[in-house]
Amino acid sequence: MKKAAVTSVLIAVVLLAVAVIAEAQQPAKIPRIGFLDSSTASGSAVLVDAFRQELSKLGWIEGKNITIEYRFAEGKGADRLQEHAADLLRLKVDVIVGTSPGSALAAKKATTTIPIVVTSAGDPVGVGLVASLARPGGNVTGLASLSPELNTKRLEILKDAVPNITRVGLLWYSGGASIAQDLQLKELRPAAAALKLKLEEIETQPDFKGLESAFQTAKQKQVGAIMTTTAPRFFAERKRIIELAGKYRLPAIYPQDDFVEAGGLMSYGVDYDDLYRRTAVYVDKILKGAKPADLPVQQATKFEFVINLKAAKQIGLTLSPEFLSRANQVIK
């Protein structure tokens, strides 16, 4: 072999070796999760923690082998959610977590290719997120929280707790995802009529002035109890809502036990911590190669009825032993 040819071969071998070493030294790509929430960072903190804890159990450590890009719309509606969704696309996230129908719809409008997991949609088929629960199709899957049906159950519980009520005030968020909220109202109106209750629908903005005004309206309409639609912004403002319910001495039922733990009267609903943990499981599957279209939408399986006797005493409400016996937990 000629000297020039030998030299060429040696150079080629060296270059190949350098390329292999360089490739081996290249840091592995760290997956990036987009977290899109219509509420506030502080209001959603307890649920975000549940999501992160489950990811950690599955081997995904934030800041080590995974990055989470958080975007909170601060209750500023669909336009802000759409802006945040577009921002997450620019960051080339690998999967988007939408914490409500509104945020998941904003993500779906922004992309048909990036996987989307919704943490809690009352009726994901009804709002247009998926084709069916068993076969989602497209790029969206996640968890169904059964909000419309559970709102009806909450209304029944209110009637049992305060048998002489004739009017119930329903706070609904005028800046929420209209389709999801319309479905809740559609379920509640006939349910109220069947229970011989007048449902006073009170539109509000869940901020300091808006909530105060809503409770004043409720008193003017002489409601005997109050409830809210299921919306992230109401969850974020739960302490203020509880404070006002006590101030106006109105029995209230809430969709999550976090309200009761913060001093509210009672709650009936799904275990949202569980939904956020199960969302992390789906994110894990997707990051490992699963397709959203192949992951059926899972329905909520854990439900809790919690009562706070201290809150009942504060507003002068006496609950029967029989009624208390139905609760999963009674806080004294």
Tokens of 252: 């209230």
User: Do the beta carbons of residue 301 and residue 135 sit within 8 Å?
Assistant: no
Tokens of 303: 């439900």
Q: pLDDT, tens digit, for every residue of 269-300?
A: 999 999 999 999 999 999 999 999 999 999 99
Q: In whole angstroms, what is the distance from residue 58 CA to residue 133 CA?
A: 25
Note the Cα 183 to chain centre separation in Å: 16
Site of tokens 């209304």: 155
pLDDT for 225 equals 97
Tokens of 317: 């409400």
- For strands 303-308 and 266-270, give the pairing: antiparallel
pLDDT for 43 equals 86
For the entire predicted model, the pTM comes to 0.80
Q: In order of start, what are the domains of the chain with their CATH numbers?
A: 32-145+272-301 (3.40.50.2300), 147-270+304-331 (3.40.50.2300)
Query: What number of CA atoms fall less than 13 Å from residue 189's CA on the CB side?
Result: 7
Q: In whole angstroms, what is the distance from residue 228 CA to residue 327 CA?
A: 20
Size of the chain, expressed as the number of residues it contains: 332
pLDDT for 324 equals 97
Vertex 105: Cα angle to 101 and 109 (nearest 5) = 180
Task: Output DSSP code: residue 27.
Answer: P
Which residue positions in the chain have pLDDT lower than 70? Answer: 1-27, 175-178
